[in-house]
Structure 1
Amino acid sequence: MDYARSSWCMSNGDDDPADASGEADAADDAEEAGGAGESTDAAAAPTLPDEATEESLNEYLDEIAERLDDAETEADLDDIDALLDDAEDGLDEADLPEPDEDDEDADDPRGDLEDRIAELRDGVEEARGPYAEDVIDAIEAAASTLEDTEWTADGRDDAADAVDAFVEEASESVAVDAFPEHDDLDELIAALDAVAEAVADADLDPDADAETIAALIDATDGLEAGLDDAEEWDDLETHEQLRAQGYYDVLGHYKDFPVEWSALKEHEARGNVDMILLALNSLESDFMERHCLEAFERMGKRGKTEASLEELLGRAEKRDQFAIRILGKMAAEEATETLVEFVSEDSNPQLQKIVFKALGEIGAAEAVQPLADQLDPEGDTEDLVRPHAARALGLIGDTRAIDPLADALAEDDSDDVRAAAGWALRQIGTREAIETVAEYADEHSFIVSTEAEKAEQSLDAASATA
């Protein structure tokens, strides 16, 4: 027989009167000896027959509910948990009717009793505490909020005031030695950590120190409310955020409309990359987004910073063609790995063209072989795309591209591809590459022969200066 039935069951009427008297005396002794944290009502525990029925289980749970209403200590709640364990055991052993599966509205005694036990379990958990651990958790959450939030100047001061008030209030309950400086966020966080440590060191008992814990909980509620009320950047309107961060400071007066565009032009002229990024990420406007990206494109290498690269690479990874074009203008070697993955995307010729050019402007040696593969006339790359692959190889200028470009010049059916291959070989600029192009001076295709004539001129110029 489980603990609740064997230890807490009342007399069924068959016990010796002396035993009953002894139990009464034991109960009196328990009441006299009982202190905080000890259950003193064991003799009044409800009983459950060995063969429980739906009715007896419901009566048993009714009595447990009454005990829950009267519970004052953690020990009382522990007793109720034990009684609920007993109820679950009794329910498992009870022979209860099963509901009719074909009738959705049929009674389900077992399910109803399981729900009652679950509700009482929840009630026990809700009645527990608060504990010192709850105070510490709340303090740690506030410290995280303080550290992770982007505060305005006024908001930072208000947050600091909230921490000061909390430390002062908490020091009335536990021994705290913390005097945070307002101008140092780390000091404020350290002060909260000091209070959390003091609470842990106090070893507060949920029963004996209930008032102290409640006072600390009230203090943490005040801290949380103070931080919630403190002004964050997200609380400001967009133009207020921009003004607070100095975005409009470059303007003597507002000129073009919108004024954000006027400021953007000035930031571009001054090379203020961070301010252009601020506008790009703050202003929910297709108009301003386009102008911010165009500013980066015009700035080229001047616009390349760690922050702008991160922004543009994130866009490029999503196949944003504008961002890819800008990365090329920036000669951003960091983009090579991402862009090489797009070289073979034959289903998107426009993307390929932009990627090829960007890789050429970057001078990405890692892209030589993937680009050379796109010259294959037997492959899937469109004729309109292959000239861009050839030109990209010329921009990169790697001598490994000479052979595939020479093959394209000699064998490709497209004059556009052949002319682009001739141009690329001239850009590589070695004598071998230029002589390869010069052989086609009598070519029937004007655009190919033009490249050959320029190659001959380069050779003549080199001979004249030799």
Structure 2
Amino acid sequence: MSNGDDDPADASEEADAADDGGDAGESTETAAPTLPDDATEESLNEYLDEIADRLDAAETEADLDDVEALLDDAEAGIEEADLPEPDEDDEDADDPRADLEDRIAELRDGVEDARGPYGEDVVDAVETAAERVEETEWTADGRDDVAAAVTSFVGKAADAIDEAAPGAIDEADEDPEALLDEAADGEESDAAEPTSVDQLVAALDAVAAAVADADFDADDDADVIAALLEATDGLDADLDDAEEWDDLETHEQLRAQGYYDVLGHYKDFPVEWAALKEHEARGNVDMILLALDSLQSEFMERHCLEAFERMGKRGKTEASVEEVLGRAEKRDRPAIRILGKMAAEEATDTLVEYVDEDSNPQLQKAVFKALGEIGASAAVQPLANQLDPDGDTDELVRPHAARALGLIGDTRAVKPLADALEAHPSDDVRAAAGWALRQIGTREALEAVADYADERSFVVSTEGEKAKRALDDAEPAATA
């Protein structure tokens, strides 16, 4: 525990008292205070004054234990004492019992403040630093500074532990300095790799384990505990100074991650847009995602999403699908269009949920087309249900459902499409059903459309004529 400086005046008074009242062989140590019988408010306060003096003079954990025991006695004495009770009708009336209990609480806080520090405090501080090193996103320069800070701390800590407990480091499961030395020597090439975060954390964990194994005593090993805590304070200060990504402005983060490296001579402004176009041309999906995440402007967000839509399947990665699908789950139509262009099968379940949203025709149109482009066979029946003329689906939406079925190309859609072609009251729906059947392209599907080559409706007959030609072209091949 930490020791206070002795007051020279107090020391002089104690010496005078010893000379005046004590025998030559009598101890000058202050006797422990005694709890008064039939205690009063005044005597209890005097008793607490004596305990406070002993707390100020305490030098060891044992001294503090004695003070705690005296406070326990004082607390019991206050409970048993016949003290005046405050007037319940007077809010400002004094309450001697409460005042004494408050003093005891303050003295107990003082005991806790005076205790330690302990080896456990060092372990906690080192483990907290290790967690910070591991969880913080450092820049390249910051990581170098962190490595230097940890290396310096590990050296100081190892020296302090060795001096106080020789052999403690050697007996530990892992030598923290050896871990860092291995990291430095692990690369045989001339250009040594920087020490990894995992290696730095392992070294700090090894220091914490060595301190715990040393089992330092708060009294006997106060100096080494203080030295280790001073070293951890220095480590914390160095970590505070190391550069984190969050410390950088957005354009600095982008520059550090190479976003602008693709730029040569450019004429578009802002430069972020010019770089985005180049990343799109090169298929740099990660950089487009970086811009989308970092550049919080509607202008750049729109252009990033448009880049993904133009890239289509080239822009499909696990990360890009996750990002766009998250937006689609909020019924974002541009994101839904992108998922279709990417042919992202991962989006099927989400998009199928939106097929029946009859109150939002624009959303339905985007969803139907995306499901068609994905080729989502799971959507065949939900889309076929949209062709029902007695349903609630907007008439302008039904042709989009038919076309989506054609894009999917699943033969299970032939019958509902043929039924729509035959009986639906809307020529637009019938023509879309004919187009979809031609996309499916089986003989059954083509024959169902070819029957309407002489249809009175021009848009329907056009699909019928195309289907008839397709059958005619296929006939020689079938004959051969």
- Do both share a fold (TM > 0.5)? yes
Greater relative CO, 1 or 2 (CA 8 Å, sep 6+)? 2
Q: Which moved more, 1:58-67 or 1:405-414?
A: 58-67
Please state how far the C-alpha of 1:104 moved relative to its aligned partner: 7.2
1:302-332 Cα deviation digits (max 9, x unpaired) = 1111222222222222322222211110111
Aligned partner of 2:157 in structure 1 is: 170
- Aligned letter for 2:242? A
1: CA distance, partners of 2:47 / 2:449: 100
- The counterpart of 1:142, out of the listed 116, 122, 129, is 129
Q: Is the 8 A contact 1:419 1:447 kept in 2?
A: yes
Amino acid at match of 1:142: A
Q: Is the counterpart of residue 202 in structure 1 residue 202 in structure 2?
A: no
Query: SS where residue 255 of structure 1 aligns?
Result: coil
Alignment of 1:353-372 (within 5 A): 353-372=365-384
Q: Name the CA shift for 1:355/1:76 in 2 (closer, same or farther; >3 Å).
A: farther
Change (3 A) 1:268 1:121: same
Corresponding residue number in structure 2 for 1:343 = 355
Higher mean alpha-carbon deviation, 239-248 vs 201-210, is at 239-248
Amino acid at match of 2:235: L
Distance 2:366 2:110 in 1: 64
361 and 111 in structure 1: CA distance in 2 versus 1, 3 angstrom threshold: farther
- 2:291 aligned to 248, 272, 279, which one? 279
Q: TM-score, normalised by structure 1?
A: 0.81
CA shift in 2, pair 1:87/1:395, >3 Å: farther
**1:436 positional shift:** 2.0
Corresponding residue for residue 252 of structure 1:
264
CA distance in 2, matches of 1:427, 1:115: 87
Q: How many percent identity over aligned positions?
A: 77
Contact kept in structure 1, 2:122 and 2:229, CA below 8 Å: yes
TM-aligned CA distance change 1:149 to 1:441, over 3 Å: same
The aligned residue for residue 324 of structure 2 is 312
Change in CA separation of 1:197 and 1:447 when aligned onto 2, cut-off 3 Å: same
Q: 1:107 to 1:393 in 2, by over 3 A?
A: farther
Deviations 1:382-418 (A, max 9, x none): 2222322222121111112222223333333333333
Q: Shift of residue 82 of structure 1?
A: 4.6
Which stretch of the first structure deviates more once superposed, 422-431 or 61-70?
Answer: 61-70
Tell me if structure 1 keeps the 8 A contact 2:402–2:433.
yes
Shift of 1:70: 3.9
Evaluate the alpha carbon distance shift between residue 195 and residue 373 of structure 1 in structure 2; reply closer, same or farther with a 3 A threshold: same
2:145 maps to what in 1? 158
SS in 2 for 1:194: helix
Cα deviation for residue 63 of structure 1 reads 5.3
What code does the residue aligned with 1:212 have? V
Whether the 8 Å CA contact 1:368–1:393 is kept in 2: the answer is: yes
1:334 has 2:334 as partner: no
Amino acid at match of 1:235: D
Kept in 2: contact 1:405–1:425 (CA 8 A): yes
**What is the alpha-carbon distance in structure 1 between the residues aligned to residue 63 and residue 45 of structure 2?**
21
Partner of 1:385: 397
- Decide whether aligned partners of structure 1 residues 444 and 67 sit closer, same or farther in structure 2, where only a CA change above 3 A counts: farther
- 1:260-283 Cα offsets, whole Å, 9 max, x none, are 111111111111112212222122
- Select 1:438's aligned residue among 450, 453, 471: 450
Kindly state the Cα deviation for residue 349 of structure 1 after the two structures are TM-superposed.
2.6
> Contact 1:394–1:425 (CA<8 Å) still a contact in 2?
yes
Q: Which amino acid aligns with 2:35?
A: T
SS in 2 for 1:44: coil
Letter in 2 for 1:47: L
Is contact 1:48–1:56 with CA below 8 Å preserved after alignment?
A: yes
CA gap 1:47/1:297 in 2 versus in 1, 3 angstroms: same
Which position in structure 2 is the counterpart of 1:427? Answer: 439
Alpha carbons of structure 1 residues 117 and 400: separation in structure 2 relative to 1, 3 Å: farther
| SS of the residue 2:160 aligns to | coil
Deviates more, 1:79-88 or 1:257-266: 79-88
Aligned to 1:262: 274
Which runs of no fewer than 5 residues in structure 2 stay unpaired? 1-25, 163-168, 170-174, 185-192
After TM superposition, the structure 1 = structure 2 runs for residues 81-120 of structure 1, keeping only pairs within 5 Å, are 81-83=68-70, 97=85, 118-120=105-107
Separation in 1, partners of 2:397, 2:256: 48
Measured on the aligned residues, the alpha-carbon RMSD in Å equals 3.2
Q: Which residue, 240, 244, 262 being the options, matches 2:252? A: 240
Aligned to 1:193: 205
* 2:237 aligned counterpart, secondary structure: helix
Which SS does the other structure have where 2:59 is aligned?
coil
1:47 to 27, 35, 45: 35
The structural deviation recorded for 1:111 is 6.5
Cα gap change, 1:396 to 1:115, in 2 (>3 Å):
farther
The 1:401/1:113 distance shift into structure 2, 3 A limit, reads: farther
Offset at residue 301 of structure 1 (A)? 0.7
Structure 2 Cα separation of the partners of residues 59 and 347 of structure 1: 81
**Alpha-carbon distance change, 445 to 49 in structure 1, aligned in 2, over 3 angstroms:** farther
What is the one-letter code of the residue matched to 2:195? D
Query: What is the CA-CA distance between 1:124 and the residue it aligns to?
Result: 3.7
Structure 2 CA distance for partners of 1:246 and 1:375, relative to 1, 3 Å: same
Matched, 1:407 2:394: no
Paired residue secondary structure (2:220) = coil
Q: Identify if the C-alpha distance between structure 1 residues 303 and 76 changes in structure 2 by more than 3 Å, giving closer, same or farther.
A: same
| Matched-pair contact (CA < 8 Å) for 1:46–1:64 | no
Partners of 2:99 and 2:427 lie apart in 1 by 84
- More deviation in 86-95 or 193-202? 86-95
Distance in 1 of aligned mates of 2:386 and 2:398: 6
Indicate the SS of the match to 2:435: helix
State how many pairs are aligned: 427
Q: 1:184 matched to which residue of 2?
A: 195
1:183-202 deviation line (CA, Å, top 9, x unaligned): 12133222212211221121
| Deviation (angstroms), 1:353 | 1.8
AA in 1 matched with 2:161: V
Distance 1:104 1:340 in 2: 69
Whether 1:397 aligns to 2:409 is: yes
Could you list the runs of 5+ residues in structure 1 that have no partner in the other structure?
1-27, 32-40
